[in-house]
Amino acid sequence: MEKIILFSGKVKYPITLDPGVWIFDDRRVDLTTYFNTEEEKKDELEEYTKEISKHWDREIMEGAIFPPTLKTEKKFEKEKVLTGTFGIPFKPFLKNAEPDSQASSVVIVCEEEEISIPIEQAEELVLGFSENGKPLKEDGPAYIYYGDGSNKENPIKKVKAFRVE
């Protein structure tokens, strides 16, 4: 049960988070490059349309048969997952829990302290869940990084729960 992070408080839906399954989530981000590059706000529909268009163009040009390059790309992605350092944005979890309209802050409950941040800032958080291909067992199950990367060298560790107040 210590690998599960509870999400409760002034929310419509209390949820539990399991960092062990985030490696399979398409929303994961590579933390080795995430804070180094200037992240622009993306239009999700536009990104989806571009990806589909690129896939469609590839099928027209190369045919629907999987050329060896696709197998190589898949192998590269598997290798990246096994050796990478990843995180996942916090905002989708916050949205799914549906905070109460009077909620103003998110309290990060750690093993030794509680840190309260405004809900607007919490939307920008990134939850780190793996380092060099390994889950964060020793002082995990997740690390908290601020959206601006200001604490990327010293993230919040030993996170046990989130409480919306």
What digits encode the pLDDT tens for the residues 101-140?
999 999 999 988 999 999 999 999 999 988 887 888 888 7
Q: What is the pLDDT of residue 117?
A: 94
Cβ partners under 8 Å of residue 92, min gap 6:
27
Alpha carbon distance 144, 147 (integer Å): 9
Residue 38 has pLDDT above 90, yes or no: no
Partner residues linked to 162 by β-bridges:
7, 108
Least confident of 68-72, 128-132, 137-141, 156-160: 68-72
Residue 1 has pLDDT above 50, yes or no: no
| Spatial strand order in the sheet of 105-110 | 15-17, 5-9, 159-164, 105-110, 114-118
Q: Are the beta carbons of 23 and 130 closer than 8 angstroms? A: yes
